[in-house]
Amino acid sequence: MMQLFLDTTDTAVLTDLAKTGLVDGVTTNPSLIAKSGRNMLEVIAEICGIVEGPVSAEVAAMDVDGMLAEGRKLAGIAPNVVVKLPLTKAGLIAAGEFSREGISTNVTLCFSATQALMAAKAGATYISPFIGRLDDHGFNGMDLISEIRAIYDNYGFDTEILAASIRSIGHVKEAALAGADCATIPPDVFNGLFKHPLTDKGLEQFTKDWAGTGQSIL
């Protein structure tokens, strides 16, 4: 089953959409935290209280020791915190150590299949290929999802493919067709997944016809 994560730190929006029962987790990043204007640790703790699924919280350090110290602190907030690490050599060294410690990780800013291969070998729980950013630079981001899927299936890697930088409903559909395990999407795209103009048109006709019968179910 494809998991749908919300890419947000807006706890009011998250609380509302979590009521659908269709939100499997949450991802955050430094840019979203900066927009919120709130303390990062408080935001992560609040989000973990809203959703039971994985909540990605990103380290700020660029060195291994710093990543390990920050990651352990983030992981201590709640059992469902996933430590988000950059796809660098230092990040993968930290991912390997966290794997041995039983701490879940999300390796982010993936732009190539070989990077995804290295992340899986390091024991990453999730790999986050950035679809939209690849599209912005003239590449087809979905090709990357397909390549990673093939490599992971070839070798039986457990690392889950978390399609990120999702910009549209079409991206969600294509990621699912390409075999992504998860997609992290902005709230507006999530809301759009429910909609289709023909659904609205059909409901309008059904409502009109039902009113014409003068009946009531209750």
Radius of gyration, CA atoms only, the chain: 20
Instruction: Tell me the three state secondary structure of residue 161.
Output: strand
SS3 63: coil
> Mind telling me the catalytic residues?
84
Amino acid present at 87: L
Q: How far is CA 25 from CA 136, 153, 181, 205, in A?
A: 26, 24, 13, 36
* Token representation of residue 91: 């990040």
